[in-house]
Structure 1
Amino acid sequence: MWSFNHTASNSPTFSFVGIPGLEAARIWISIPFCLLYFLALVGNALLLILVKAEQNLHEPQFYFLAVLVLTDLGLSFTMPSVLAIFWFNVHYIGLDACLTQMFFIHALSSVESGVLVAMAFDHLVAACAPLNYTRLLTHSTVTCLGGAAVTRGAILVGPLPFLLRTFPFCGANILSHSYCYLPDMLKLACGDAIFSGVYGLVFVLFTFAVDVVFILASYMKILATVIKLENQDRNWKSLHTCACHLCTVFVFYLPLISLAVLHCYTQNTSPILFTSMSNACLLMTPLLNPLVYSLKSRQIQAALRERFWVQRVIAGE
């Protein structure tokens, strides 16, 4: 009866799997997920408040950090649907809601990748052309780079939901993730989804692949410039400044690449590993970025110490 109504209504429903084999422990599993999600929200919100409130953080690299934080917050807003699986045993989502979720996940991932490129450009100018830094990285330049990252993500991902909307979904429609992900939906489409698959590949090549090449080229140039410097203190300062960005790059791309490898080259992957990796891919970046910048950025550390010290003084009075 469900299959008949499903086919006739032309509005398929997709099913999330949660963590296979651990359904009985879903409430206990939700506790660490909920805690990590809360920490991600608090950490990113705190960074955003610091960048807005502290005058000494009103610099291009921290403006890019603010855009990165907003992107991470956008990605983390997918987590409530993941938590609903554990809390309320909600395993179903409609086609339109699934396509909308897929759009925002992939568009925001593209935006984050573009912001990482902009941050690499910021470090490149600071290391290789420090005298021209303020002339090249003006407020309008920062706005254009951030706007370009957002526009690129929206334009390139925009057609995908409309393309998938034209295909029938006539099977069980069980998603292998706890959220809607493009490769998953392409596998479930009953029609000829070759064009959508090719478009998805072009999207990956023109966003993540191009961005990785630019970031690598930037840091090769930065390293070559730093090695030539005679001032060892400046060498160390330049490398330390780049450390936060490099950590953020690894935190963002490693889970993404690992998940892509699982999709493409593994056929008998453990469902628990697959689901855990997909959830880590969604949560790791929003969770770790505030920690990386709090531990590595001296200016962020100074802003945190000053703000909390002032609050303690006021409370003492």
Structure 2
Amino acid sequence: MTKPQRLAIAVLLTLLAAPAMAANFTLWINGRNGGGQIGNYDSFTYWGPASTAAGVNKKAVNWDGKSHIAEQNYLIRNALDCFCTGNNWCYIAVHSAGDLMIGYTMANYGGSTRYKKNPQPDASGTCSNSDGTTQTGWNIKWINVASGAGGGSELADIGSWAVSDVLTQDLKTTTARALYNHNATRAVSFNMFAGAKGTLYSSVLPGQDDEVVAYHSTGGVSGSSGASFCNPSDWFCNDLTLGTANNEGGSAKWSYHTVKFRDDGEAYNHYTNGAWGGIVSVVRTDVVNNAR
């Protein structure tokens, strides 16, 4: 064997022995009604222009936004397997019913055995195994939640949404709160961003709201049903507190749920408007600044 051949073999063996390069990804999980192309992690139709900055290596984790959470949950697990295993880590941002989706995932599958994957999805959004080894759960730094519906919405309770949309059944307040163990986050922080520019359904949604979801849900308040929570300027109901502390009146938040933003100025509603709008705009700014 010649010296150049020996050198080439040595270089190849070194490359094979070297660990795979690590990368960080930002996953965006949509809420009700969906809109993005399922399996296409570059389809940001639900959110706004794909050219908009939204965290390091941003990916759109699309599901149909109308089926039961359990029926579409495999799509979220596929994405987490692709981008959040092995040497790779993820930041996650969700909107509305996307809170239910990621909460359900963490509670029911966050302790499961996952094959480490190469972050190179096929057309269906699945990735191949990297080296045949496994790990427990996924590598997730934190989860930002814009107008989270993990506690359900009274709009689902009264049938304001189409009854043919089975997701509405999951979004009923008592159903959403019993759908999974909201305290089982696998020690991953859920950072809650609560909007308060609510006008249209103010008589239906208790306390402060963003026209779709009330503070009891967007603030991650625990319990079997919703209650009324407000900004400190409102004298007629208990304050939703920032951070993880109990709210005024003593009610607790779910474990690892922290209110990172409370809309004291009542400036942000629920809707993205195809332009990263509403409360999602606040989350996007936070993600741009911190998901790197």
Give yes or no for TM over 0.5. Answer: no
Q: Determine which structure has the larger strand proportion and give its number.
A: 2
How would you bin the TM-score normalised by the shorter chain?
A: under 0.3
How does the TM-score come out when normalised to structure 2?
A: 0.24
Greater gyration radius? 1
How does the TM-score come out when normalised to structure 1?
A: 0.22
Flag the structure with more relative contact order, 1 or 2, with Cα contacts below 8 A and sequence separation at least 6.
1
Q: Determine which structure has the larger helix proportion and give its number.
A: 1
